[in-house]
Amino acid sequence: MAVFSERLKALRKAKKLTQQQIADRFGITKSAVSRWESGVIQPDIDKIKEIADFFDVTIDFLLGNDANQENKDKKNADLVDLLEEIKKRPYVIDPKTGEAKYIPKERLKIINDLIEGYLREEGILPDDNGNGEDCAGSL
């Protein structure tokens, strides 16, 4: 269970939280958090789910199965690439004719807003700077 203990400790420190704050958040003792982080004991599956939700990671990530977290990171990177590609090339190629068909501006704005919104929620893109203009506004 060394992976769980290491990851819990790293996540806690990344959020600049104390063991006591984690204990208070999950309704346990500071001693229990300390034992989790040292690998002496492990929480039950329900508590692991709460921890994963709190830190916005998967249970698999907490338990050492990086494949799912890596897949999520890859999908997010693919979305960033897609967003950049749409900005550079706001059209699609018709597979039957090979002809470029431009995406109407109003639809392009919706696509950009959806992708950017998701990436902002995931923390991949910084929050909007508050000027009300998004990347689609520059198209």
Q: With beta carbons less than 8 A apart as the criterion, state whether 120 and 128 touch.
A: yes
* Length of the chain, in residues: 139
Judge if pTM exceeds 0.85: no
CA pseudo-torsion sign 96, 102, 106, 107 = positive
Query: Which CATH number is 2-64 given?
Result: 1.10.260.40
pLDDT tens digit at each of 139 positions of the chain: 488 999 999 999 988 999 999 999 999 999 999 999 999 999 999 999 999 999 988 898 888 876 555 666 677 777 888 888 888 888 888 888 989 899 899 999 998 899 888 888 877 777 765 444 444 444 4
Distance CA 22, CA 2 (A): 19
The domain locations on the chain are 2-64, 67-131
